[in-house]
């Protein structure tokens, strides 16, 4: 019997229990979203260095800012799961903000990689030298992003089951 099934059976909805229920999904979603952004950022830095542009420090600063914002958004997801009333809307909105921000950053980074194509061509570097690997990295990044969304959906399902079952149990049994 898993931990969330035991919680469902006993009706224990303490703060500690709610935090434990989605902990692994929330942490993994953050790690996967961070990996998705980092893959694209470092690929962009690699292409920029081949094009003769110096963005190394800019990429590191950008990565740190993005990771910080993603961590704050995951913290918002966790806090929204602790709410007693209206938690569903808060949780969904927090997840939407997290996935929206992550997707927007990935799209922006990918477009900035494509903007380097003319600079690379002017240096005599053809698309066959970098385009295949860039697309594979972008595909890996998209898979990480999709997995983070699925993990958040899984955490929502678990919270929904436990909180709905706890509401159905009379107060004298809790």
- pLDDT of 41-72, one tens digit each? 988 888 888 888 766 557 788 888 999 999 99
Write the pLDDT tens digit of every residue in 155-169.
Answer: 999 888 887 776 665
Percent over 90 (pLDDT), the chain: 39
Q: How many CB atoms lie within 10 A of CB 82?
A: 12
Measured CA to CA in angstroms, residue 164 lies from 9, 11, 47, 159, 169 at distances of 12, 10, 50, 8, 9
User: Is residue 134 assigned to a domain?
Assistant: yes
Q: How many domains does the chain have?
A: 1
Report the C-alpha gap between 75 and 81 in whole angstroms: 10
Mean pLDDT for the chain?
A: 83
User: Is residue 107 assigned to a domain?
Assistant: yes
pTM value is 0.81
User: Is residue 10 assigned to a domain?
Assistant: no
User: Is residue 53 assigned to a domain?
Assistant: yes
Domain range holding 71?
19-167
User: Is residue 4 assigned to a domain?
Assistant: no
User: Is residue 3 assigned to a domain?
Assistant: no
Which residue is listed with tokens 């019997």?
A: 1
What lies within 8 Å, CB to CB, of 125 at 6+ separation is 50, 51
Q: What is the DSSP string of 36-88?
A: HHHHHHHHHHHHHHHHT---HHHHHHHHHHHHHHHHHHHHHHHHHHT-SSSHH
User: Is residue 43 assigned to a domain?
Assistant: yes
Write the pLDDT tens digit of every residue in 92-125.
Answer: 999 999 999 999 999 998 888 888 888 888 888 8
Report the C-alpha gap between 162 and 102 in whole angstroms: 28
First to last CA, the chain: 20
User: Is residue 97 assigned to a domain?
Assistant: yes
């Amino acid at each position: 019997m898993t931990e969330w099934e035991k919680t469902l059976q006993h009706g224990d909805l303490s703060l500690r229990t709610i935090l434990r229920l989605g902990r692994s999904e929330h942490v993994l979603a953050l790690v996967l979203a961070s990996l998705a952004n980092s893959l694209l950022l470092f690929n962009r830095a690699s292409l920029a260095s081949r094009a003769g542009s110096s963005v190394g420090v800019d990429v590191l600063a950008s990565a740190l800012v993005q990771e910080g914002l993603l961590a704050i958004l995951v913290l918002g997801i966790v806090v929204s799961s602790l709410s007693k009333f209206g938690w569903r809307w808060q949780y969904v909105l927090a997840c939407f903000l997290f996935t929206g921000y992550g997707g927007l950053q990935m799209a922006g980074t990918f477009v900035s990689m494509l903007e380097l194509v003319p600079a690379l061509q002017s240096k005599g570097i053809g698309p066959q030298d970098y385009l295949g690997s860039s697309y594979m990295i972008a595909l890996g990044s998209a898979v990480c992003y999709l997995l983070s969304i699925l993990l958040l959906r899984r955490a929502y399902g678990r919270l929904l089951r436990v909180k709905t079952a706890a509401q159905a149990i009379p107060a004298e049994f809790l």
